[in-house]
Amino acid sequence: MKKLKSLFLATIIVGAVSFTGCTMWASPYGTEEGSMGMIYTDLTVGSPLKDNPNATSLKKGEACSTSIIGFQTDGDSSTQTAMKNADIKHLVSVKHHVTSVLGIYTKVCTIAKGR
């Protein structure tokens, strides 16, 4: 009976650790931009496409998607949608903001800036 309890507990622990990675997000810029936390992640990655001295006059568009345990994903976090949301014709920079809690809930937003 004691072995059965130990086996059950080990199964629960392995399952819990396995599920923390269900909705992990891979940065298109590589791992040097930021890393995902197992418990909580709140990071922004990206860089300007080119230098822009008039950064204050830029439009900012955002497009988001969410995922729950990797089974259900909603939204459109594409760069095209972010540009469309702000009526941007000339793209200057693209960033991605990722928020994740235990890998169970993940929200990814694409932030586009331009004219």
The per-residue pLDDT for range 68-85, each reduced to its tens digit, is: 887 888 999 999 999 999
pLDDT in tens, 36-68: 677 888 888 887 666 555 566 789 999 999 998
Helix (H) or strand (E) holding 13: helix 2-19
Ordered by start, the domain boundaries in the chain are 2-114
Q: What is the pLDDT of residue 18?
A: 57
Alpha carbon separation from 15 to 19, 28, 93, 100 (Å, rounded): 6, 28, 39, 19
